[in-house]
Structure 1
């Protein structure tokens, strides 16, 4: 395996007042957590945990976020998140 065996791109979109989504943050992580357990529920829970940690670290503004995780051209998971800041 290489050092980037589990490279993922996480995109953070925040819902605007008019309902549109704007990409406010993008991060690249080398993390295998999405594959510890099978199923959509685990991937969603893991994504929410990663997003909460990142948004806190980034001091992101409160709001409703759509968080999408990609591994190469494949979407791993997308979740909605109410972030209180």
Structure 2
């Protein structure tokens, strides 16, 4: 997931409407403003996938995600987005 997409998904959780923002710079300014008004730091929403993987596939996904310091869900989303861009782009 690129930073632009990530911020668009996260900012509404913190009370900032990001759908009409057109540049990464504007999104970053919104994110900074949101973070200044809260305790702690913003984080990407966690998603629970609605299906199960075979245990060996799940283990590989978790291991690969840990090596990249992200959740398995985030890694799966990144893989899907890259494949989507490859097919559509």
Relative to the length of structure 2, the TM-score reads: 0.30
Greater share of residues in strand: 1
Greater share of residues in helix: 2
Relative to the length of structure 1, the TM-score reads: 0.31
